[in-house]
Amino acid sequence: MVERLSAEARKSALVELSGWAETSGREAITRTFTFRDFNEAFGFMSRAALIAEKNDHHPEWKNVYKTVEVVLATHEAGGVTARDIDLAKAMNAIARQLGVA
């Protein structure tokens, strides 16, 4: 079982994660990605989905046209863990490759 990060550990991890913030009202982290169009947003989701499935760690997300709103938490730990931080980093890397953020 992976360990839930303390509030302090969460905060210091977020300093390194551009665009991500604490989710209000729950122990999770969130970022909204804005792409050029739907095609690019869906491409981002497809690439992130492959990583998520490989690691058996899945995002909560919502897509509206060119925006993708992501919430990451580890349900079995009841909070944010290193798995969420790793997935957030991977998502940022994909977005960067697409020329966003």
Q: Give the residue numbers annotated as catalytic, written as ranges.
A: 53, 57-58, 75-76, 84
Q: Which of 2, 94, 6, 83 is nearest to 42 (CA)?
A: 94
**x-marked contacts with ligand HBI along 34-73 as a string, rule CB under 6 A:** ----------------------xxx--------------x
Rounded to an integer, what distance in angstroms lies between the CA atom of residue 75 and that of residue 55?
15
User: Using CB under 6 A, which of 26, 62, 75, 96 touches ligand HBI?
Assistant: 75
Q: Report the nearest approach of ligand HBI to the CB of residue 81 (Å).
A: 8
